[in-house]
Amino acid sequence: MLDVLSREKFAARLTQAGLTLQGIVVELRRLAYLAAPQEVPRVIEHDADDDQVLACALAGRADLIVSGDKHLHRLGGQYQGIPIVTAAQAVQHIRT
């Protein structure tokens, strides 16, 4: 997670919001539900890490998969009934 949040495209936004990477990770760990899938089926041919995301979402009975990943969004907006949304869409979903 730190490798993603450390990307340059997030740096200015995090600084603007007064957030630190470590603070975000601590808060996410506090809120997170850990899910350990029994098996990880091959779904995304070009990115096995994405298969891990899908398997964890199923194991954890997720309400949403929030990602900007193009491979996940190519699944047609959902995976086995779990909507795949962007961060902006997730915020809208949470607000309603």
pLDDT in tens, 3-14: 777 888 888 888
pLDDT given at position 13? 84
Residue 1 pLDDT exceeds 90:
no
pLDDT given at position 9? 82
Rounded to whole angstroms, what are the CA distances from 63 to 23, 84, 96?
Answer: 24, 9, 14
pLDDT given at position 56? 94
pLDDT in tens, 21-66: 889 889 988 988 888 888 898 999 889 999 999 999 999 999 999 9
According to DSSP, residue 18 is labeled T
| DSSP line for 27-96 | HHHHH------S------TT-HHHHHHHHHHHHTT-S-EE---HHHHTT-SEETTEEEE-HHHHHHHHH-
pLDDT given at position 55? 96
